[in-house]
Structure 1
C-alpha cells in the first residue's frame, strides 16, 4: 500500500513540474520577460517545432533541453559531464516550468549566432502569422 502511495505521489509531482504552453501563452510570457514583440512569432515557431511548447522536453540523445532545446555541448552544464556552458546554467534548470532561464539562454544564443542556431530555423524564417492576436 505504501509503495502505491509513493508511486502516486511521484507521478503527481512529475506531472506538476511539466508545463505545456501554447503559442499565445509563450508569446505573452516572453514579452513580460522583455523579448521584443517583433521576435515573438519567430520564437513561438521554434518552440512549437522543437518541443511542442513543452518545458520538460529532452531530445532522444539527451543533449538538448527545454522549450527551446538548448544544447549541452555549448550552452548549459549537464549533470554528468562538462560543457562550455555559455549561458552559465545547469541544463536541468532549462526543464523547469519557469521559462526565465530558457528564455535568457535562448536570447544569448540568438545574440551570438542568430536564429539560425536552431536547425528548424529554415521552417520559421519565412512569412509567419502575426502574434498580435495574443495580446
Structure 2
C-alpha cells in the first residue's frame, strides 16, 4: 500500500509534459502564425513528418555519439539543447531539451530555425526526402 501511495505522489510531483500529434496542415498553420515564411513550410512539414511523425513529445533513441534528439524536429542535445541529465551540451538554442517536447511548438520552431540558419537544411539526416519536389502547402490555408 505504501508503494502505491509513493508512486502516486511521485507521479503528481513529476513535471507534466503535454505532447500531441500534429499533421502537415496543423503544423504549417502554426508555423506560419510564428512568422515562418510560407515558402519554407512544406520543407519543415516534410522534416517533421520524417523525424517525428509530427509528434511533439518524441525523444529519439540514443545516437552513436551518446546524444539524443528531441521533439518535432529532433533537435540534438549535444549541440542545441541542454538535457535534464546535466551532461555537456553546447546548447546553441539556450533551452532545456524538455522544452522541445511540449504541445506548444514555439520553442521547437525557434530552435529548428536556429539550426537551419547555422547549418542549412542538410542538418537533418532526412533532408534527402525533403530536398526535391514537395506537394504545395497552400491547401492548408483555404
Same fold (TM over 0.5): yes
Instruction: Describe the superposition over 1:85-124 as per-residue Cα deviations: whole angstroms up to 9, x where unpaired.
Output: 0000000110011000000000001111111000000110
Which residues of structure 1 form unaligned runs of 5+?
A: none
Aligned residue for 2:28?
27
Considering fraction of residues, name the structure with more helix. Answer: 1
| Larger gyration radius, structure 1 or structure 2 | 2
State the aligned residue count: 131
- How far, CA to CA, are the matches of 1:102 and 1:88 in structure 2? 12
Offset of 1:60 from its aligned partner?
1.4
Residue 91 in 1 paired to residue 97 in 2? Answer: yes
1:17 is paired with a residue of what secondary structure?
coil
List alignment gaps of at least 5 residues for structure 2: none
Normalized against structure 1, the TM-score is what? 0.89
Over aligned residue pairs, what C-alpha RMSD do you find?
A: 2.2
* Residue of structure 2 in register with 1:130 after alignment: 136
How do 1:100-119 residues align onto structure 2 when only pairs under 5 Å count? 100-119=106-125
Q: CA deviation at 1:47?
A: 0.2
Aligned to 1:67: 72
Q: Hey, what's the Cα distance between the residues in 2 that align with 1:60 and 1:74? A: 16
C-alpha separation between the residues in 1 aligned to 2:88 and 2:102? Answer: 21
- How far does residue 70 in structure 1 lie from its aligned partner after superposition? 0.1
The answer as to 2:81 corresponding to 1:76 is yes
